[in-house]
Structure 1
Amino acid sequence: MSPTEILRQLFDTAVAAAQPECRIPAFLPPPPKGKTVVVGAGKSAAAMARAVEQAWSEPLSGVVVTRYGHGAATQRVEVLEAAHPVPDANGMAAAERILETVTPLGADDLVICLISGGGSALLTLPPVGIGLEVLADLNRQLLRSGADIGEMNAVRKNLSRSSGGRLAAAAYPAQVVSLLISDVPGDDLRAIASGPTVGDTATAQDALRILQKYDIHVPPEVLAYLQANPDPVIAPGDERLSTTTNHLIAAPQQSLEAAAQKAQALGYQPLILGSAIEGEARQVGIVHAGIVQQVVQYQQPIAPPCIILSGGETTVTVTGEAGKGGRNSEFLLSLAVALKGREKVWAIACDTDGIDGSEDNAGAVIWPTIVPQGRDRGFKAGELLAAHDSYSFFEGVEALVTTGPTLTNVNDFRAILIDA
C-alpha cells in the first residue's frame, strides 16, 4: 500500500472503533417495570438509536434528533433532522418534542438517552422571550471567535431549557441511563452536547464573562436574562439527577489506540501524542512539524518508520471574510507549509464525523511535494492558509478525503507517517 492508503486505513480504523453498534449493547440496563423511552441528540443519535433497537427485544419508543444527512433506518424510534452547527427551527421543535416525551414519565419507567457531538446545536431550546435567531447569531459569533468548546458550551447551557442537566431533571423520577460518545478534549461529560443529563456549575456570570472576553455582541434581552438568571443549570447534587446514570461508551483515546494497533500491524511504530490537543489549528500544525523534525533528525521520541497520532479539537479564529474549509484542513495546510517539502513524510487529518468545517469533506492528506504541486496549478499554500481557504488548496491538488457522514463522532483524527 502507498503511504496515503495506509493513512486512510488508520482513519477508517479509528472511525470503526467508535461505531455505536459495537459499543452500546454492553451498557444497556435490564428492562424496567414500566415503559422504555429512547431520546437523544447528536451526529450519532440515529445510529445509536438503531443500535439500541437491534439490542433491545422489549417494547420501546422514542424520538432523537441528528444533523441533516446523518439519519439511519430505525423501526421504533423516530429520527428527526436539524441544522448544525448553527441551530434552526427544526432543532428547536425537536428539543420540545424530546422534553415532552420524557416529562410525563414515572419512577417505573426507563429513559435511554443517546448523546453525541453536535447535540448542543441540535437540542437548542432557548428561554422564553429569546428568539431562536438571536441564539443562532450568538452561536455564529462564538464559532468565529476562537472560543474553545468548553467556553461555547458554558454560554449555550445558560441560554437553554434542555442542556446543563435539564433533560435529566425533566425526566425525573424515571430512571435515566445516558450513553455518551465523546467529541470533546478530556472527555468531560458536562461538555458533550452541553451536558443535557449531567449536572454543572457553569453560571450565568461565566457566560457573560466569556461573551465579553470574545467581544460578542449581546442583544438586550440576552443580557437581561443572564443578569436575572431565572433558570440556572442543574447542580451536580440536585435530587432530580439522583436517578440518572451516565456512561461514556466511546472516546477519542479508544479510536487512537485502535489506529495505533493497526499501524503496528502494518510495520510502523506508533506514537500517540494525545487525545485532547487544543489550540489554533495552524499553530498546532507548526508544533507537529517541529515534532517531525525531531523524529527525522534525532530519532526522538521515536524512530522511523513510525506514525504519530493525535486527536482533540483545534479552533480557527476567523477575522474578516473567510474562505472554505475546516480546522482539520487548516491544520494540515499549516503542517505542509511548515514541513517545507520534507521527504518521506505524509499526513492525514480528518473529522471522525465525516464533515470538516464548511464543506462536504472529512479532511485531507498531504505528501512531500504537495506544496509545489499546488503552486504549479495556481494554488499558493501560504496565501490560502492566510485566507482560511484550505479547502480550495486541497481540492485543487485532489487531496480531499470524502467519506460522507460516518454516524459517529470522536473528534479530530490526525496521523503523520514518517518512513525510514
Structure 2
Amino acid sequence: MTDLRTLFDAGVAAVRGDNSVTASLATKPVAAPDRIIAVGKAATAMARAAHVLFPETPLLIVTKYHHADGAPAAAEVIEAAHPVLDENSISAGTRVLEAVQNMAAGSHLMLLVSGGASALAEAPAGGLSLDDLKSRAQQMLASGADIHAMNAARTKTSRVKGGKLLGAFGGARVTTLAISDVEGDSLQVIGSGIGAAPVESAFTFEARIVASNAIARAAVRQTASDAGLAVGHDEETLYADVNVVARRIAAALKDAEPGIHLFGGEPTVVLPPDPGQGGRNQALALLLAREIAGVSGLQILVAGTDGTDGPTDAAGAIIDGATWEASGQEALDRADAGAWLQARGALLKTGPTGTNVMDLVIARKS
C-alpha cells in the first residue's frame, strides 16, 4: 500500500534543490559563471548540483543551521538562524553583498535562491541593530502576517532585499535560479527579492523558477495514480489563518469521494505572547484532528516541504479521526500543538529535505 509518507517523499524529491537545478540547466544550459552564491534552506542542494556542472567556480553557500551536510568541500559555507535572524545572518548578508560588489566588469554571477533567505542573509540599513531586526521579525511572525506583508516590511530595512543586492553588481550578466516558497512564484517575493534585479540595471538578467508547490503536487498526484489511487482535490488554497484552513479542508474531505486529496500553500498563525512548541503545520494538523474527530477511514499528513515547521525539528504531523482528545484544545490555546502531538507519536520528522516549496496537506480517504 502507498502510504502518505511515500506520497510526501515523492513530492519533495521532485522539487529537491539538486534535482531542480540539474534539470533546469540540462534543459537550458548557461555559460560557466564567475561566481555562484546560494542562499536559503535549499542552498546546499542547489549549490551541489551547480558545482557538478561548474567545479572551478568559487561557491558561497548561506543556509540554515544543520542544513549544510553534503556541501562541496571547496565551498565557503555560512550557517545562520531561521525564522528569526541572528549574528550569523548579518555576517552572511554582509559577506554576500561584499562578494557581489567585488565582481569584475564583464563577469557572470549565478544566484541560487530558496525560501528562508530573508532571515538567513541580512545587511541592515538605516543604522538598525540586530536586536531591532529580531524584535521586528518576532512581531511579524506572531501577528499572522502573510509572506507578502512580511517581505515588504523586511525590504525597507535591508541593503540586500528587493533587488538591492544586484543593484550593487557591476558585472555583465546574472542568472538567478529560484525555488518558490510563495504564492504566485514571484521572484520579487521569494527571499524578499534577494535574487531579483533592480528596476534599472546595465547587466543582462535571466531568472527561472526551477521548483514550486505545483510541481511537488504534480509528483504526488502521479505517484498516487501510478499506485492505482484516485486523486480528487488538488488545490493550492492554504492561504488563510490555520483555523479557517482547517474548517475548509475538513469540510471538503468529509464530502469527498474515496482517494487521495491534495492541498498546497502556506497558512498563517497568530501566536500568544509566550507560545509553546510547534509551527503552523503542527497547529493545522491538531486543528484538523479536532475537525475530523470520530471520522473513520480518513488520514491526513500536514507538513512543510523543507522538513522543518517553525522553530522545531518536525516537518508537521500525521493525524486521523482517533487522534483528537479534549486536552488538545488547551494545547491549541497555548500554541503548543507540537508537544501535544509528540506525546501521542503523531509528529512527522524528515530532517532537512533540500527544498522549500511551502506546505503540503495530503489526505487519504477510504
- Shorter-chain TM-score range: over 0.9
- C-alpha spacing 1:198/1:73, structure 2 compared with 1 (3 Å): closer
* Cα shift at 1:263: 1.2
Out of 250, 254, 272, which is 2:211 matched to?
250
Cα distance in 2 for partners of 1:320, 1:127 equals 28
For residue 171 of structure 1, give the secondary structure of its aligned residue in structure 2.
coil
The letter for the 2-side match of 1:171 is: F
- C-alpha spacing 1:268/1:186, structure 2 compared with 1 (3 Å): same
The letter for the 2-side match of 1:8 is: R
For residue 153 of structure 1, give the secondary structure of its aligned residue in structure 2.
helix
Residue in 1 that maps onto 2:138: 140
The letter for the 2-side match of 1:121 is: A
State how 1:14-413 maps to structure 2 within 5 Å.
14-28=11-25, 29-31=29-31, 36-57=34-55, 59-71=56-68, 72-199=70-197, 234-235=198-199, 238-240=200-202, 242-295=203-256, 303-304=257-258, 306-372=259-325, 380-413=327-360
Aligned sequence identity (%): 36
Cα distance in 1 for partners of 2:125, 2:235 equals 38
The letter for the 1-side match of 2:157 is: L
Instruction: Tell me the TM-score normalized by structure 2.
Output: 0.94
Cα distance in 2 for partners of 1:128, 1:61 equals 31
Does the CA-based 8 Å contact 2:277-2:335 persist in structure 1? Answer: yes
Cα distance in 2 for partners of 1:9, 1:20 equals 19
| Structure 1 unaligned regions, length at least 5 | 200-233, 296-302
Residue in 2 that maps onto 1:12: 9
For residue 150 of structure 1, give the secondary structure of its aligned residue in structure 2.
helix
Deviations 1:253-296 (A, max 9, x none): 0000100111112222113432252111122011101101222x
- C-alpha spacing 1:132/1:91, structure 2 compared with 1 (3 Å): same
The letter for the 1-side match of 2:31 is: P
Between Structure 1 and Structure 2, how many residues are aligned?
A: 362
Does the CA-based 8 Å contact 2:176-2:195 persist in structure 1? Answer: yes
For residue 268 of structure 2, give the secondary structure of its aligned residue in structure 1.
coil
The letter for the 2-side match of 1:25 is: T
* Cα shift at 1:108: 2.6
Instruction: Tell me the TM-score normalized by structure 1.
Output: 0.83
The letter for the 1-side match of 2:180 is: S
The letter for the 1-side match of 2:311 is: S
- C-alpha spacing 1:272/1:182, structure 2 compared with 1 (3 Å): farther
Q: Which runs of 4+ in 1 moved over 3 A?
A: 26-30
* Cα shift at 1:359: 1.8
* Cα shift at 1:26: 4.0
The letter for the 2-side match of 1:333 is: L
Does the CA-based 8 Å contact 1:166-1:197 persist in structure 2? Answer: no
* Cα shift at 1:67: 0.4
Residue in 2 that maps onto 1:216: none
Deviations 1:133-165 (A, max 9, x none): 101110010000011000000000111001111
* Cα shift at 1:93: 1.0
For residue 190 of structure 1, give the secondary structure of its aligned residue in structure 2.
coil
Does the CA-based 8 Å contact 2:173-2:205 persist in structure 1? Answer: yes
Cα distance in 1 for partners of 2:237, 2:108 equals 33
- C-alpha spacing 1:30/1:369, structure 2 compared with 1 (3 Å): closer
Cα distance in 2 for partners of 1:98, 1:401 equals 34
The letter for the 2-side match of 1:50 is: R
Cα distance in 2 for partners of 1:40, 1:123 equals 11
Residue in 2 that maps onto 1:230: none
* Cα shift at 1:128: 4.3
